[in-house]
Structure formats: structure tokens, C-alpha cells
């Protein structure tokens, strides 16, 4: 996800496909872990370290070749 300017703040938008897969609705509380990650593998490793699991059918929207 990308950090964007929103008024005087910075914001991270949750992509619609993730909202749908997690069943999120406006007003829901979420737990977030923030770190600056460079690769998909780093993101997955970070989630595993904090004990987070993705839904079984979860797919990254934009998988890229990582070299």
C-alpha cells in the first residue's frame, strides 16, 4: 500500500479487493502494523513474525517479479 497526503495528514488507503476479502465495513476497528517494506517477501515475512494470517484465498493485487 502507498502512503498519500490527505489534508494535513498522511493516509494509507485499503484497496477494495482487500476490504472485500476481509469483510471490512466503515466504522470497523483494525489492527495495523506499520513498517517500510521493499518487497512482497518482506511483507509476508513481517506478517508471519507478528502472527498475522491472510485469508486462504487472498491474492496480492499486483504481484511483480522481484529480482
Q: Do residues 14 and 4 lie in contact, with contact meaning Cβ atoms separated by under 8 Å?
A: no
Which helix or strand (DSSP H or E) is residue 19 part of? helix 16-22
Highest mean pLDDT among 6-10, 20-24, 27-31, 56-60: 6-10
pLDDT per residue as tens digits for the range 27-41: 998 887 676 767 878
- pLDDT of 18 above 50: yes
Region 13-33 average pLDDT: 85
This prediction has a pTM of 0.46
Amino acid at each position: 500500500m502507498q502512503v498519500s497526503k490527505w489534508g494535513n495528514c498522511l493516509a494509507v488507503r485499503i484497496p477494495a479487493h482487500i476490504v472485500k476479502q476481509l469483510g471490512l465495513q466503515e466504522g470497523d476497528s483494525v489492527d495495523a502494523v506499520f513498517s517500510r517494506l521493499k518487497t512482497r517477501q518482506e511483507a509476508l515475512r513481517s506478517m508471519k513474525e507478528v502472527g498475522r494470517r491472510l485469508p486462504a484465498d487472498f491474492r496480492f493485487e499486483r504481484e511483480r517479479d522481484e529480482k
